[in-house]
Each structure stands twice: as structure tokens, then as C-alpha cells.
Structure 1
Amino acid sequence: MAKQENLDPTTSMFAQFKEKTGPIVLANTFIVPKDKSESFLARWKMHAEFMKAQPGFVSLQMHQGTAGSQLFMNVAIWESTEDLAKALGNPQFQAMSVGVPDDIVSYAHIFEKIAVEGLCEA
């Protein structure tokens, strides 16, 4: 199973799931050894197809770092933290996650849109 780390050391993913809010953006950055990129993306596709069928799912997009980077970042939009938590806790998803190699590191964090005057709306 992939190693889970906190992107923000002051706010765990568990703490974020206690915050009942939405819509939310899940940004999940992965460090993937270069020789495992292809197998990682194949497994991610399987996970993404499962997530797309879950209640509250809105959209997702995978990104890859440039210049030979080992980073991949999935950005997914969900209607609420509750919907995301239910999907991640689904026994079928949990079973799929067991096979992810433990040399892949995941940094997941939940975000909300905010307003910045003159630039963007919440």
C-alpha cells in the first residue's frame, strides 16, 4: 500500500474529514519511482474509474511534473468531504488500494475555493 504523508504537518487528512463542507478539491500528489510510472498510471486509472461512479464525484484530472519529475498530481472535485470519505472508505476501493507498491508516497489534502477580491470568486 502506498505510504500516506500529510502535506500540511499541522492538519491531517483525518482532521479534514471531520470538516463537513463542500464542494471540495482533493489534491493528491504522488512521488513515483521512474520505473513504476506506467504501472502506477494503470492502477490509478482503475481507481479513478471506480471513483467516477461514486455519489458526489464531480471531476478529476491527472497531472505529471515536467523535466523528468517523479511527481504526479491528481486533482479531483467532490460535492462534499462526506462523499469523498465514503468513497475512500468503500471496501472495494480499500481492496484495490492494498496492491499499490509501498515505495509510492501520497500527499493528499482537501481544499475549498476561496474568494480573492478582484481575481476569483468562491
Structure 2
Amino acid sequence: MAAAKPFKALDEKFPFDRQLGIAAAPVVLVNVFTVDLFDEAGFLDAFKAAAEVITKQPGFISMQLHRALGESLTYLNYVVWESTETVRAAFADPEFLAKLPAYPSSVVAKPHLFQKVAVPGFCTA
């Protein structure tokens, strides 16, 4: 996730940069990270440094990082934001961008935006 290394699309048909152009509120940013075994500690250090900036951004609501079970070096970060506008501003913040080069080169980030969906009897929107 270095600054020169672009994010990978979770959905090639509708990549993250296009999603940021849609006005929606609230939104959930799901970011799936993969990392090599020897870079895991460096990933967590870089993630913490970036999170210290992101969590202070206007529109940030909550965040939770998850690690896959077993030997899978896949992480899922779930971040709730007030709107796509606040995500766009946070990802363009110079202080946040300055943290990205600290991510080890093996880290691949696949961010994607979601909204809650109502399913009667099971989920509320």
C-alpha cells in the first residue's frame, strides 16, 4: 500500500475511485489486505500509524480490524463513515497520505464502499 502503489480493485467493474464519486450516507468502507508472513508486524505498525490519523478525520464513526483464521495472512478492516464525501476527504488528507509509504511492499489493499441493505425480518437499513 505504498504511495506509488495503487489500491487494487475488489470489484474490477466498479473500482474504489468511481465509488468515491457517488453521494451516499452513511457508508461502510471494507478494506481487504493481504500481506506476506515476514511483513505482518510491519503491516500492523503501519496500519496503527494510519489509523491514528483516520480516526480523527471528520465523518469517521468507527473502525474494526479483523484477521483471518489460521495461516491466512488476510485482514479485513471495517470502517463506518458519515458519507462518501468524508471518506474522499480522509483519503486525500496529506497527513494520511504521508503514512502510506510505511506499509511493506507486499501489502495489497482492496478498498470497497458499501451501504446497509434492509432485508425484512433480518436486517435494517
TM-score in terms of structure 2 length: 0.93
Residues 59-90 of structure 1 show CA distances to partners (whole Å, capped at 9, x for unaligned) of 00000001111101110000000001101101
Partner of 2:10: 7
SS in 2 for 1:39: helix
Partner of 2:70: 67
Aligned pairs, number: 122
SS in 1 for 2:8: strand
Partner of 1:55: 58
Partner of 1:37: 40
SS in 1 for 2:71: coil
- The answer to whether 1:99 aligns with 2:83 is no
- The answer to whether 1:115 aligns with 2:118 is yes
How far off is 1:101 after superposition? 2.5
**Where in structure 2 are there 5+ consecutive unaligned residues?**
none
Residues 31-82 of structure 1 show CA distances to partners (whole Å, capped at 9, x for unaligned) of 0101111111111011111111110000000000011111011100000000
Q: Distance in 2 between matches of 1:38 and 1:102?
A: 13
Q: Distance in 1 between matches of 2:52 and 2:102?
A: 16
- The answer to whether 1:28 aligns with 2:31 is yes
Q: Distance in 1 between matches of 2:119 and 2:35?
A: 34
How far off is 1:102 after superposition? 2.5
Q: Distance in 2 between matches of 1:5 and 1:109?
A: 10
RMSD: 1.1
How far off is 1:99 after superposition? 2.7
Ranges of 4+ aligned residues in structure 1 off by more than 4 Å: none
- The answer to whether 1:77 aligns with 2:57 is no
The answer as to whether partners of 2:39 and 2:106 remain within 8 angstroms in 1 is no
**Where in structure 1 are there 5+ consecutive unaligned residues?**
none
TM-score in terms of structure 1 length: 0.95
